[in-house]
Amino acid sequence: MRIAVNTRLLLHGKLEGIGRVEYELLSRITRDHPEHEFIFIFDKKYSEEFIFSDNVKPIVVMPPTRAPILMYLFFEWSVYRTLKKHKADIFISPDGWVSLRSKVPTISIIHDLNFEYFPEFFPRKMLRYYQHFFHKFAKRADKIVAVSEYTKQDIIKCYDINPSKVDVVYNACSDNFHPISEEHKVRTREKYTDGCEYFIFVGSLHKRKNLVNLFLAFDKYKDLSNKDTKLVIVGNKKWWKGDIENTYNTLKNKSSVIFTGFLSAEYVNDIVASAIAELYISFFEGFGIPILEAFNAETAVITSNTTSMPEVAGDAAIIVDPYKVDEIVSAMIKVESDVECRNELILKGRQQSQRFCWDNSAKKFWNIIETFMTDFSQTD
């Protein structure tokens, strides 16, 4: 079988979100199935680290997908021609974008539909493109894989998709995340916060991640606790301008907020494992991998009561309303001051994380591919 894959988000040194999911699934299924050929379609120069095995054939096609019109050209012309030229038996798109022109059997992975609920969080041109095309992508895909039950039901409801067309394959987290020794934690705190205890947020600095309420809650926590606790923010400031930056500039305790920028998984593990708790209080998530990263690093979690986050966290986190700053503050005070509560959350997190494993996810994803191709060939 010749399997073509949209790999435009496999970016050297910049694996975030969907790219990380793509990496974990593809690295496993390509190595586990040497009997099949995989055609990886990149939109720019690729790194050899993503050519996981001898059965992977990398292809670079233009244009780079840096703007909506370029994305249209990439999928409707370059991908379309590549699938035709290389006689692909199936096309897999891990980011939900597909070629509407192509007749090649297509499996799409959809992570979330957050733009349908928070259009104000998106640049106008990109939003128009999403709203015009994404429901068409969902209709065009022959099979859709959702990353959570929440996302599955959202796709079915929003786009009137037959439930039998949508399967769920959970995300997991990297094996790089694990607990560290107390001595290692001390060194990590000395490195990033001059030895102070801290809360941590890991993710893109996007409005959807609720950085505004996170900052407000931290400021109020500092006033109430009167402690030298810090807040560490790990992630790029891509969407920093506007409300997030303006709120940060109003904080009385902004000197206690530390920005690390993007960090590799090794350093993220150290800094998460050394924190009081992970604060992951997004408005909307299709899954929420940082929750599992904290569980695996044996760090307590405070997360939101919205979308997929309760599904991922189970009873292993403190669940809060992301719109209520006082509720977030109370959770921070609770987890910081109540060691017994924190240890119970860590224990439950360790148990909850065992439900999510990339090896199992890759096997389930491959079973979906095989079943889909068998069913498709029988109805062709």
Distance CA 106, CA 61 (A): 19
| Residue 232: band (very low, low, confident or very high) from pLDDT cuts 50, 70, 90 | very high
Section 279-290 average pLDDT: 96
DSSP labels, 46-112: --GGG--STTEEEEE-SPP--SHHHHHHIIIIIIHHHHHHTT-SEEEETTS---SS--S-EEEEE--
Question: By the 8 A CB rule, do 137 and 108 touch?
Answer: yes
Tens of pLDDT, residue by residue over 315-352, are 999 999 999 999 999 999 999 999 999 999 999 999 99
| Residue 123: band (very low, low, confident or very high) from pLDDT cuts 50, 70, 90 | confident
The secondary element (H helix, E strand) that includes residue 273 is helix 265-273
Amino acid identity of residue 208, one-letter, is: R
| Residue 380: band (very low, low, confident or very high) from pLDDT cuts 50, 70, 90 | low
Given a cut of 70, whether residue 44 has pLDDT beyond it is: yes
Report the b/e string of 83-122 with b at 16+ CB within 10 A: beeeebbbbbbbbbbbbeebebbbbbbbbbbbbebeeebb
Per-residue pLDDT, 378: 62
Share of the chain above pLDDT 70, in %: 99
> How does the average pLDDT of the chain come out, rounded?
95
- What are the Cα distances from residue 93, in Å, to 22, 28, 42, 108, 137? 9, 16, 12, 5, 10
Section 187-214 average pLDDT: 95
DSSP labels, 177-243: -----HHHHHHHHHHHHTT--EEEEES---GGGTHHHHHHHHHHHHHHH----EEEEES--TT-TTH
Per-residue pLDDT, 236: 85
| Residue 165: band (very low, low, confident or very high) from pLDDT cuts 50, 70, 90 | very high
Per-residue pLDDT, 233: 97
Tens of pLDDT, residue by residue over 244-262, are 999 999 999 999 999 999 8
Section 231-250 average pLDDT: 91
| Residue 264: band (very low, low, confident or very high) from pLDDT cuts 50, 70, 90 | confident
- What are the Cα distances from residue 72, in Å, to 65, 215, 375? 8, 37, 30
CA 338-339-343 angle, 5° bins? 125
Domains of the chain: 2-172+358-379 (3.40.50.2000), 182-353 (3.40.50.2000)
Per-residue pLDDT, 379: 63
Instruction: Return the SS3 of 278.
Output: strand
Tens of pLDDT, residue by residue over 58-99, are 999 999 998 999 999 999 999 999 999 999 999 999 999 999
Q: Give rounded-to-5 percent helix, strand, coil for the chain.
A: 50, 15, 35
Per-residue pLDDT, 179: 97
